[in-house]
Amino acid sequence: MVNTMDVGYASLAPMVIARSKGLPVKAIAGFIKQNDIGLLVPKDSGIASPADLKGKKIAFTAGSLEAPFIDQFLAAGKLTRNDVDLVSVDAAGKAGLYMAGRSDAAFSSGPFFLAVVASQRPSNAIRFADQGLEFPSFGLLATEKSIASKREALKRFASVVAGCWAYIFAGNQDEAVRAIIAARPQAKLNPAVLRQQIDTLKDYAYTDATRNLPFGTMAAADWKRAVAVLADGGLIEKGFDADAVFTNELIDERVVADVASGKN
């Protein structure tokens, strides 16, 4: 992406890790501002917190963003890896394994996973963010070079996309579902699953610091906390400059509002 693309849509925490290793990338818009990762557990399991996991079989994916934080998550319940049975599985097979009852719980993205398994194994999410593991999820990132050389184009793009998210969350979820299905006709997407995913994502789209800001805008306080969490997890060095990983200068409040209103 760094050498060939001007802008990317991705989870922003890995972007920070990449920047800490020398890649000149920066967040230019945040859409899903709360950590979407969590532990998915059956609704009838009686599991409500990490403290309830002793002796449980838990599926996770090695190499994923969840992996470095498992120890901290378990520690919130005064447990260690020795207290649970961690099973590493491929990300593509995790939902199937969990729905088949071959694990008691599974680490994954709550908004996406919950909707997929709902029909066969209704579940709840024990959110990482509720255990102190707070960092942003999806947004737009760009290289320093692109930000400098294509600033106005990126500003227009980021603001339009932010406005689209705001429009969707303002009660236009069904329209979004139809648009997604139209864009991917061969994927045979389930509209009910898509609708649930969008509805759940809305709960992750804001933090206390950004709730009253134009959609797409990020908060310095959120990034400072995120950088500290990533450092505690050993993914970046302590003292990393949180202000260097994002900019709000490419969010045009007027464009966001116009698109969100549905007039454009």
117: left (phi over 0), alpha (psi -120 to 50) or beta: alpha
pLDDT per position as a tens digit, 153-189 = 999 999 999 999 999 999 999 999 999 999 999 999 9
- Strands (E) in the chain, as ranges, are 7-11, 25-30, 37-42, 57-60, 85-88, 105-109, 123-127, 138-143
At how many degrees (to 10) do helices 173-183 and 151-169 cross? 120
Say yes or no to pLDDT of 36 above 90. yes
pLDDT per position as a tens digit, 128-140 = 999 999 999 999 9
pLDDT per position as a tens digit, 201-216 = 999 999 999 999 999 9
Say yes or no to pLDDT of 235 above 90. no
Distance of alpha carbon 14 from the chain centroid: 11
Say yes or no to pLDDT of 2 above 80. no
- For residue 264, what pLDDT band results from cuts at 50, 70 and 90? low
User: Percent of the chain having pLDDT more than 70?
Assistant: 98
- For residue 263, what pLDDT band results from cuts at 50, 70 and 90? confident
Please give the Cα distance from 196 to 245 (Å, whole number). 31
- For residue 67, what pLDDT band results from cuts at 50, 70 and 90? confident
- For residue 254, what pLDDT band results from cuts at 50, 70 and 90? very high
Please give the Cα distance from 233 to 175 (Å, whole number). 39
